[in-house]
């Protein structure tokens, strides 16, 4: 009998598998397909202070080994999430959920985090300073240590729940930014968000995405994500949630060997809505094949 349980900043998870923000809605959409309580947890749709329609269409493009998206943080806004989405979620998911918060200013991050921190269903807050699909916000806060640290300090001042900072891979030194977040009080790090990519339509000779560029995700980015998780594990002492191209139980084990305590599944959910469920079901068999009895014992095992 293998043990798949892991602990994130005091939050005990039945397994380390967590659908990533933006790929799992608010959960109840997937609850129509299977019992989502099988999940360790999940990170709900990135939420801002005001409702957002998102970027103009087309905003999705397929590519080899993945996809490019420029959805642009479409969401109903923090008040609607608290009033409508969380009650609907509570009816079908009986574990603590991860709240993904985005912003366009320091004040917006603080406002949203302070509000969501009061919600009983929220076990952990994931602060997204890494969205490449919006202007004057998102990734702008996550590309230099000082800005990332400033957001971290401000959010930690108004929250009691664990705060994980979600970092961008579109930087020169990911470890430096992770260290700055840790020093500013972050409880953990989530990485990576999408890489910046684009496609050009050969018929029109123009970019496929209306926003020209978007976030590149999917199995093709797994080696980059793994490398960055490995680097950050050596740079900080706080837990890491690893993500980026994870599409199989073996990838979960590899991410954990690199240093992740838990692992998020992103684009794979959009290809196969049962992806997270199947990975959870495969994980004990993969552990048995590899001689792993307790998942927590392999965290950082490749170092």
Which positions are annotated as active-site residues? 131
Q: Where are the alpha helices (DSSP H) in the chain?
A: 28-31, 78-80, 86-90, 106-116, 145-156, 174-183, 222-235, 249-258, 267-271, 275-290
Rounded to whole angstroms, how far apart are CA atoms 296 and 219?
24
**Cα-atom radius of gyration of the chain, to the nearest Å?**
18
Q: Let me know if 227 is exposed, middle or buried by CB neighbors in 10 A (0-12, 13-18, 19+).
A: middle
Half-sphere exposure of 85 (CA within 13 A, CB side): 22
* Residue 72 contacts residue 55 (beta carbons within 8 Å): yes
3-state secondary structure at position 238: coil
Q: Which tokens in the block code for residue 203? A: 């018929």
Between the alpha carbon of residue 25 and those of residues 30, 32, 65, 73, the distances in Å are 8, 12, 23, 12
Look up residue 4 and give its two tokens.
């798949």
- Pick from 100, 31, 95, 90: nearest CA to 277: 31
User: 95 burial class (0-12, 13-18, 19+ CB within 10 angstroms)?
Assistant: middle
Helix axes 145-156, 106-116, angle to 10 degrees: 40
CA dihedral of 66, 287, 178, 27, whole degrees rounded to 10 = 60
Residue 292 region by backbone torsions, left for phi larger than 0, else alpha for psi between -120 and 50, else beta: beta
């Amino acid at each position: 009998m293998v043990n798949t349980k892991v602990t994130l900043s005091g939050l005990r998870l039945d397994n380390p598998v967590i659908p990533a923000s933006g790929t799992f809605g608010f959960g109840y959409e997937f609850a129509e397909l299977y019992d989502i309580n099988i999940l360790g947890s999940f990170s709900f749709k990135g939420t801002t202070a005001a409702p957002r329609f998102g970027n103009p269409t087309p905003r999705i493009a397929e590519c080899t080994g993945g996809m490019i998206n420029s959805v642009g943080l479409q969401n109903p806004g923090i008040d609607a999430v608290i009033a409508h989405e969380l009650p609907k979620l509570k009816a079908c998911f009986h574990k603590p959920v991860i709240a993904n918060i985005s912003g366009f200013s320091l004040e917006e991050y603080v406002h949203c985090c302070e509000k969501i921190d009061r919600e009983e269903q929220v076990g952990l807050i994931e602060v997204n300073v890494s969205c490449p699909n919006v202007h004057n916000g998102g990734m702008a806060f996550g590309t230099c240590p000082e800005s990332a640290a400033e957001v971290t300090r401000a959010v930690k001042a108004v929250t009691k729940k664990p705060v994980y900072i979600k970092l961008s891979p579109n930087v020169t030194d990911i470890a430096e930014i992770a260290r700055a977040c840790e020093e500013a009080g972050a409880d953990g790090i989530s990485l990576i968000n999408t890489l910046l990519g684009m496609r050009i339509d050969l018929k029109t000779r123009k970019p496929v995405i209306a926003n020209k560029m978007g976030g590149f995700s999917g199995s093709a980015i797994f080696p980059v994500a793994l490398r960055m998780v490995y680097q950050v594990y050596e740079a900080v002492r706080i837990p890491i949630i690893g993500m980026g191209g994870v599409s199989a139980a073996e990838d979960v084990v590899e991410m954990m060997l690199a240093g992740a305590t838990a692992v998020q599944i992103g684009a794979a959910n959009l290809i196969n809505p049962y992806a997270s469920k199947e990975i959870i079901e495969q994980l004990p068999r993969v552990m048995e094949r590899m001689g792993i009895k307790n998942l927590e014992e392999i965290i950082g095992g490749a170092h």
